[in-house]
Structure 1
Amino acid sequence: MHTKTSLMDDLKQLNIKKQGTLLVHSSYKSIGDVKGGPATVLDSLSRYMKEGLLVLPTHTWDYINKDNAVFHVLESPSNVGMLTEKFRKRKGVYRSEHPTHSVAALGQDAKYFTENEYRHETPCARASVWGKLLDRKAQILLIGVDLTKNTFMHGIEEWVNTPGRITDTYTDLYSILYSGEKVHVPSRRHCGSSSSEHYWKVEDLLLEEGAMRKGTFGDASVRILDAEKTALLLSELLVINPALFSTNEPLTDTWRYYFHD
């Protein structure tokens, strides 16, 4: 059975930077039997990252829409997993106020990191928390999930203006902030083919180029990505081929030759 100590040892073995910024996407069930359950997993992550910044997604894109247009930062549940929902309610955690793609953060500058997100008209704007992950050279830890769950890659698609990924029209959404104020957030949404379902196709290339490595956390298989290296690599790929994630066809060896020449 896994414990807080053993899970912290796993993070050390994964070479997670204690004073850095860590984004975690997760499947709790994949970790296996944990003494103390989800609370212990969150305790291990929080304790390990006590000198850095710990970030978990608390998205609500699955149910905040034109027919249910009001996001409440204190009350709207996360639709991306048990750990994220429990984490957002913890003492000292700040949640961003974006209506569909909020995150929760714990650390000395968590408040600064998450503030004013309701001002962004797209899910993963360059000036948003997703761009800040790049600026901070964050690590991204995928616990028991694969690249298809990596929201940061949506951000990269946005930043290089990949065609057909964001609506041209706006949906009228609203955020109820920590202050209690209700603000209008005209929002352009993700659209087109479900590109994230095709993110798997760059896994081998990310590994080969040193942007990603693998390990274990508890019983879970994990992927650790370097945000900066991932953004540089995928931005170049998407500029050359904007339709990269529009199909489920695997990458050909041509891409490997391109990066090795």
Structure 2
Amino acid sequence: MYTKEDLKRQLHELGIDLKGTVLVHSSFKSMGEVEGGPDTVLDALSEHMKDGLLVLPTHTWRYINADNPNFYVDSSPTNVGILTELFRQREGVRRSWHPTHSVAALGKDATEFTRGDEQFDTPCARGSAWGKLLDRKAQIMLVGVDLRRNTFIHGVEEWVDIPGRLTDSREQLYTHLPDGTKISVPSRRHTGVSWSEHFWKVDEVLQETGAMHLGRLGDAEVRVCDTVKLTAVLTEMLAADPEMFSDNEPLSDEMRYFFHESTAQEE
């Protein structure tokens, strides 16, 4: 059974920057037995990042839509795991106001980091919290989940304008603030095609380029992504093949050759 101190030691071993910004996607069950359960995991993360910024996704895209358009910042539950649901309710945590792709943050600049997402009509706009992760040179931890759950990659696709990733039309959604204010947020959605189910294809490339490294938290395998390097690698790869994530086939030999040749020239 893992204790809080065990987890904090593993976070150091993973190289998580104590004074930086880290976003955590997670599967609590994958971590094995933890003394004190999910709250111990959140305590370990919060204490490790006490001088930085800890961010967890608090998405509601699974059930907030045109038929159920009302997102309540203080009470709409997340659809991305127990750690995210418990975290958003903790004292001092600030949640952004995007109706489908909100995040919650604790620590340095949490209020500023979460401000303004409701002004955008796409899930991962460059000016939103997802783009701010890149500005802050943040790390992304994938705890017991793989690249298919890395929402940031959706952001990269959006920023380089890969066609077919977003609906042309907007759904009329609303964000409700704790004080009763109701904000209209017309929103485009990710298309029905499961692009993210194919994000696994770049796993090896990200490791080879140093954009991602592996470790453990509890029993869970952890992927730690460097947002700056990840963005650079994927931007180049998507420029060469915008349809890279359109199917479940491994990267082609041509694509691997192109990428490694390009990297070698830069060195």
Q: How does 1:33-52 map to 2 (within 5 A)?
A: 33-52=33-52
Unaligned segments of structure 2, at least 5 residues:
262-267
Query: What is the CA-CA distance between 1:224 and the residue it aligns to?
Result: 0.5
For structure 1, which segment, 249-258 or 52-61, has the greater mean C-alpha deviation from structure 2 after superposition?
Answer: 249-258
What residue number does 1:151 align with?
151
**Separation (CA, whole Å) in 2 of partners of 1:157 and 1:198:** 13
Distance 2:180 2:238 in 1: 40
TM-score by length of 2: 0.96
1:183 alignment partner AA: I
| 1:236 CA displacement | 1.2
Aligned amino acid, residue 70 of structure 2: V
CA RMSD of aligned residues (A): 0.9
Asked if the contact 1:70/1:174 (under 8 Å) is kept, the reply is yes
Q: Provide the C-alpha distance between the structure 1 equivalents of 2:231 and 2:45, rounded to a whole number of angstroms.
A: 24
> Equivalent residue for 1:193?
193
Secondary structure of 1:133 counterpart: helix
Residue pairs, 1:23-102, within 5 angstroms: 23-102=23-102
Corresponding pairs, count: 261
Displacement of 1:108 in angstroms is 2.1
Query: Relative to structure 2, which stretch is displaced further, 23-32 or 186-195?
Result: 186-195
* Residue type of the alignment partner of 1:30: S
Q: Distance in 1 between matches of 2:92 and 2:30?
A: 27
State how 1:76-155 maps to structure 2 within 5 Å. Answer: 76-155=76-155
Runs of 4+ in 1 over 6 A off after TM superposition: none
The question of whether the paired residues in 1 share the 8 Å contact of 2:10 and 2:216 is answered with yes
Could you tell me how far apart the structure 1 residues matched to 2:190 and 2:143 are? Answer: 24
Q: Does 1:173 align with 2:173?
A: yes
Between the aligned residues of both structures, percent identity stands at: 61
- Aligned equivalents of 2:77, 2:124: Cα separation in 1: 19
TM-score for both structures, normalised by structure 1: 0.98
Report the alpha carbon displacement of residue 252 of structure 1 after superposing the two structures with TM. Answer: 2.1
Q: Deviations over 1:216-240 (max 9, x none)?
A: 1010011000001001111111122
Q: Could you tell me how far apart the structure 2 residues matched to 1:260 and 1:221 are?
A: 26
**1:253 aligned partner:** 253
**Alpha-carbon offset, residue 155 of structure 1:** 0.3
Unaligned runs of 5+ in 1: none
Question: Residue 237 of structure 2 contacts residue 259 of structure 2 at CA under 8 Å; is this kept in 1?
Answer: no
1:164 and 1:192 in contact (8 A); partners too? no
Per-residue deviation at 1:52? 0.4
